[in-house]
Structure 1
Amino acid sequence: MKRSGKIFTTAMLAVTLMMPAIGVSANRGNAADGNEKFRVLVDSANQNNLKNVKEQYGVHWDFAGEGFTTNMNEKQFNALQNNKNLTVEKVPELEIATATNKPEALYNAMAASQSTPWGIKAIYNNSNLTSTSGGAGINIAVLDTGVNTNHPDLSNNVEQCKDFTVGTNFTDNSCTDRQGHGTHVAGSALANGGTGSGVYGVAPEADLWAYKVLGDDGSGYADDIAEAIRHAGDQATALNTKVVINMSLGSSGESSLITNAVDYAYDKGVLIIAAAGNSGPKPGSIGYPGALVNAVAVAALENTIQNGTYRVADFSSRGHKRTAGDYVIQKGDVEISAPGAAVYSTWFDGGYATISGTSMASPHAAGLAAKIWAQSPAASNVDVRGELQTRASVNDILSGNSAGSGDDIASGFGFAKVQ
């Protein structure tokens, strides 16, 4: 996998990332009478044709040259498919699901000795660590189930809170998390310890952009996610600020809307970090959007030392064998590794939870990217990505199924750390 750009002179809730039947989630199946509505992408070379359909069905999101999305039932969908002047397809859903359907542990208050969980100590390379620092001036956009912005360990970091699941336009100052996943992810990236009795993330001085793109059942449509990605890119330009996007979500199939949005944001200087997926140890199982070339796919490490290094979790998705050892980032490659098993972090009810998955590894990497960027604010997103790769290659991972010396399909370049 090729190192991206210049190198600095000195780097999922245990979830199954899957694609349900296109356009209809496992939670929302079709009604028996066929009247259950689902999301559809409509496009045409003739804008007048689109105008008529927009007026008839309404617009959820308008992607200009890519068409627009709307909601309709099966009968309406079939009728539009018969219109030769239109291109009509169901919008994929991305869904998260825990292996056990519940966290491994829940806590109403801080658990003893967890202010700096094992993953934070590992990424800081300091077993005696009691607090963290860094990330000032960098924004971490958490695209997820929302965030409890009143959590005492997160509230001082919140800069934006937006809901993209409503369509037409986002709802400002609304990003309620009723599922837990998004709040947990945000904590690993930038929790600030609260009043001194809370948990710390990797970059506690970073700003939080909480973008709700998934529903309360943990699933969401690709168009909502794509719109949020594009919005983050536009905000980076409009506010002249540095943005790291974290996406602890995915599917086994690629969405053109999300792919184009990732490319759009990356071209605007945004760094995109994503979970590798939880379909391991099978080779070639990296989920989307992590599998995209312009996204950094993060594998999950366990708190287990073998062969002198941390171990890649079996559940963590693996890259393609054909690209192993080449140090070139290609579609479907895992890029770096981070702590992702039995991760302790903030929870949506104001407490804390322990859960596992590449969803948890991704925000560790996003927090590290923010910390690096804050130390070198003139750097580009490509520079920061190159530094992540460099730091990872210094900390090669030698343990876990398919892990080995150098660039491998399990850990990628290796474990990117603070030091």
Structure 2
Amino acid sequence: MKKSGKLLTSIMLSATLLVPAMGVSANGDSVDQKGNETFRVLIDSQNQKELQNAKSKYGVQWDFAGEGFTVDMNEKQYEALQKNKNIKVEKVPEFTIEKSSSKPEAVYQAMAASQSTPWGIKAIYNDSSLTRTSGGSGINVAVLDTGVNVSHPDLKNNIEQCKDFTTSTSFVNGSCTDRQGHGTHVAGSALADGGTGSGVYGVAPDADLWAYKVLGDNGSGSADDIAAAIRHAADQATSLKTKVVINMSLGSSGESSLITNAVNYAYSKGVLIIAAAGNEGPYQGSIGYPGALPNAVAVAALENVIQNGTYRVADFSSRGDSSTDGDYVIQKGDVEVSAPGASIYSTWYNGGYSTISGTSMASPHVAGLAAKIWAANPSASNATIRKDLQNRARNYDILSGSGAGVGDDYASGFGFARVR
């Protein structure tokens, strides 16, 4: 049920013990009190006394229990810890907005009347004359991104949670400021409600938005912040007894154990995870993480071009491996479904609108569709909704674009999942 713009206050995640004071240098890097550049590390040990000593000495950003804890430290501290045979320490990887979706192709201050239902929305509804959308009531879409402009007229009625996981404390409730734009754009494609009737519509305008800022204003974020947000969304789903779809339009070429374990945890809790496939196509084996994970639905991007009777997979869209074509089984590194992702018009962080291309734009179309399907079948499990997405995709096989072909292929996956 929509919350009329009121934020739901939730219990703070207990994760921070002691956090050393940090600052930011002139070039945007984190620095400690002495001006030394710092970076995020994961510390773990089988020796509980050593582990507790390390927590007391360095502080804790996120405590992942059996996986260790994270904290910011400088190079000298890092090198000293590496010499301790009882301590395992490693740098935490960064995840970013996919490069082709980091900057808009065009920005608009006011709504273009012809764009109330952009081409991607019409395509996923399979209705070229569509003027507004519906559905998603009671389902929460958690957008883990650069934040969201919660005052945007097309999003303000959907906001239920707004949290910042990029701060020096565990997270800040009621703050999710988007200064980059990517997160606001993603949220709009999933569930924008048209504002007063003169704005843009997303796939599921009646869904509730959980805006989780996990990426900084430069579009980059630490894997532990993202992992903590995933786990928090899963715990909220359990405590609030609600259905949650997580959208992650972000990625990395390398896998992070923290994020992998968080995704597996969330999926086990009944959360459905949707993620961008990546923008490293048309090369095989280019699916980024977390999209490459078996418990995440990797979404490829389609262009507004009809070829061979179907929409075409964009060249920039990352591909899986052709060796798994035709098996209709999701393995690590597979594309699962496709959705509109090229020249997508949606909400922007300045209160206006913009057009961007990327699998980052395709992913929220599927997240919105999942919310719409789930709202119509509220007793269904996340696995059932995922299967429904796959079956819908089979009905709209994609036959155009490098690597696309009949049936399950490494470019488009099962096909284009649609409303009807």
Deviation by residue 1:358-395 (Cα, 9 ceiling, x = unmatched): 00000000000000000000100000000000000010
**2:157 match: secondary structure:** helix
**2:300 match: secondary structure:** strand
Indicate the residue corresponding to 2:328 in structure 1. Answer: 327
Worse overlay, 105-114 or 296-305? 105-114
Indicate the residue corresponding to 2:341 in structure 1. Answer: 340
- Indicate yes or no: 2:93 matched with 1:86: no
Indicate the residue corresponding to 1:247 in structure 2. Answer: 248
- Indicate yes or no: 2:164 matched with 1:172: no
Deviation by residue 1:127-148 (Cα, 9 ceiling, x = unmatched): 0000000000000000000000
Distance 1:240 1:195, change over 3 A: same
Provide the C-alpha distance between the structure 1 equivalents of 2:99 and 2:111, rounded to a whole number of angstroms. Answer: 23
- Indicate yes or no: 2:78 matched with 1:77: yes
Provide the C-alpha distance between the structure 2 equivalents of 1:268 and 1:402, rounded to a whole number of angstroms. Answer: 35
Indicate the residue corresponding to 2:312 in structure 1. Answer: 311
Indicate the residue corresponding to 1:374 in structure 2. Answer: 375
Provide the C-alpha distance between the structure 1 equivalents of 2:59 and 2:314, rounded to a whole number of angstroms. Answer: 45
Deviation by residue 1:394-413 (Cα, 9 ceiling, x = unmatched): 10000000000000000000
- Indicate yes or no: 2:196 matched with 1:198: no
Indicate the residue corresponding to 2:60 in structure 1. Answer: 59
Provide the C-alpha distance between the structure 2 equivalents of 1:159 and 1:299, rounded to a whole number of angstroms. Answer: 28
Q: Is the 8 A contact 2:101 2:356 kept in 1?
A: no
Indicate the residue corresponding to 2:385 in structure 1. Answer: 384
Structure 1 residue 199: deviation in Å? 0.1
Provide the C-alpha distance between the structure 1 equivalents of 2:214 and 2:271, rounded to a whole number of angstroms. Answer: 18
Distance 1:326 1:27, change over 3 A: farther
Q: Is the 8 A contact 2:337 2:417 kept in 1?
A: yes
Instruction: State the one-letter code of the partner of 2:250.
Output: L
Worse overlay, 49-58 or 404-413? 49-58
Instruction: State the one-letter code of the partner of 1:182.
Output: G
Q: Is the 8 A contact 1:40 1:69 kept in 2?
A: yes
Q: Is the 8 A contact 1:138 1:242 kept in 2?
A: yes
Structure 1 gaps of 5+ residues are: 1-25
Structure 1 residue 191: deviation in Å? 0.0
Worse overlay, 141-150 or 43-52? 43-52
**1:405 match: secondary structure:** coil
Provide the C-alpha distance between the structure 2 equivalents of 1:276 and 1:335, rounded to a whole number of angstroms. Answer: 9
Total equivalences in the alignment = 393
Q: Is the 8 A contact 1:347 1:353 kept in 2?
A: yes
Indicate the residue corresponding to 1:224 in structure 2. Answer: 225
Structure 1 residue 99: deviation in Å? 3.4
Structure 2 gaps of 5+ residues are: 1-26
**1:210 match: secondary structure:** strand
Indicate the residue corresponding to 1:411 in structure 2. Answer: 412
Tell me which of the two structures has the higher relative contact order, counting C-alpha pairs closer than 8 angstroms and 6 or more residues apart: 1
RMSD: 1.6
**2:209 match: secondary structure:** strand
Provide the C-alpha distance between the structure 1 equivalents of 2:133 and 2:170, rounded to a whole number of angstroms. Answer: 36
Structure 1 residue 307: deviation in Å? 0.2
Indicate the residue corresponding to 2:119 in structure 1. Answer: 118
Provide the C-alpha distance between the structure 1 equivalents of 2:101 and 2:367, rounded to a whole number of angstroms. Answer: 26
Q: Is the 8 A contact 1:175 1:211 kept in 2?
A: yes
Q: Is the 8 A contact 1:143 1:228 kept in 2?
A: yes
Structure 1 residue 47: deviation in Å? 1.4
Structure 1 residue 170: deviation in Å? 1.2
Per the normalisation by structure 1, the TM-score is 0.92
Q: Is the 8 A contact 1:191 1:200 kept in 2?
A: yes
Structure 1 residue 337: deviation in Å? 0.1
Structure 1 residue 119: deviation in Å? 0.1
Indicate the residue corresponding to 1:46 in structure 2. Answer: 47
Provide the C-alpha distance between the structure 2 equivalents of 1:98 and 1:155, rounded to a whole number of angstroms. Answer: 28
Distance 1:100 1:378, change over 3 A: closer
Indicate the residue corresponding to 2:14 in structure 1. Answer: none
Deviation by residue 1:183-228 (Cα, 9 ceiling, x = unmatched): 0000000000000100000000000000000000000000000000
**1:99 match: secondary structure:** helix
Indicate the residue corresponding to 1:234 in structure 2. Answer: 235
Q: Is the 8 A contact 2:98 2:358 kept in 1?
A: no
Instruction: State the one-letter code of the partner of 2:355.
Output: T
Provide the C-alpha distance between the structure 1 equivalents of 2:370 and 2:295, rounded to a whole number of angstroms. Answer: 15
Indicate the residue corresponding to 1:8 in structure 2. Answer: none
Provide the C-alpha distance between the structure 1 equivalents of 2:42 and 2:90, rounded to a whole number of angstroms. Answer: 5
Instruction: State the one-letter code of the partner of 1:255.
Output: S
Q: Is the 8 A contact 1:189 1:366 kept in 2?
A: yes
Q: Is the 8 A contact 1:251 1:288 kept in 2?
A: yes
Indicate the residue corresponding to 2:355 in structure 1. Answer: 354
Indicate the residue corresponding to 2:142 in structure 1. Answer: 141
Structure 1 residue 280: deviation in Å? 0.2
Provide the C-alpha distance between the structure 2 equivalents of 1:102 and 1:293, rounded to a whole number of angstroms. Answer: 29
Indicate the residue corresponding to 1:6 in structure 2. Answer: none
Q: Is the 8 A contact 1:34 1:75 kept in 2?
A: no
- Indicate yes or no: 2:259 matched with 1:258: yes
Provide the C-alpha distance between the structure 1 equivalents of 2:102 and 2:159, rounded to a whole number of angstroms. Answer: 29
Indicate the residue corresponding to 1:188 in structure 2. Answer: 189
Q: Is the 8 A contact 1:246 1:274 kept in 2?
A: yes
Deviation by residue 1:2-54 (Cα, 9 ceiling, x = unmatched): xxxxxxxxxxxxxxxxxxxxxxxx974999x9921000000000111111111
Worse overlay, 399-408 or 101-110? 101-110
Indicate the residue corresponding to 2:15 in structure 1. Answer: none
Q: Is the 8 A contact 1:34 1:73 kept in 2?
A: no
Structure 1 residue 98: deviation in Å? 3.9
Deviation by residue 1:210-255 (Cα, 9 ceiling, x = unmatched): 0000000000000000000000000000000000000000000000
Worse overlay, 99-108 or 204-213? 99-108
Per the normalisation by structure 2, the TM-score is 0.92
Provide the C-alpha distance between the structure 2 equivalents of 1:162 and 1:65, rounded to a whole number of angstroms. Answer: 25
Q: Is the 8 A contact 2:277 2:298 kept in 1?
A: yes
Provide the C-alpha distance between the structure 2 equivalents of 1:406 and 1:137, rounded to a whole number of angstroms. Answer: 34
Q: Is the 8 A contact 2:347 2:354 kept in 1?
A: yes
Structure 1 residue 97: deviation in Å? 5.1
Distance 1:328 1:58, change over 3 A: same
Identity of aligned residues (%): 77
Indicate the residue corresponding to 2:153 in structure 1. Answer: 152
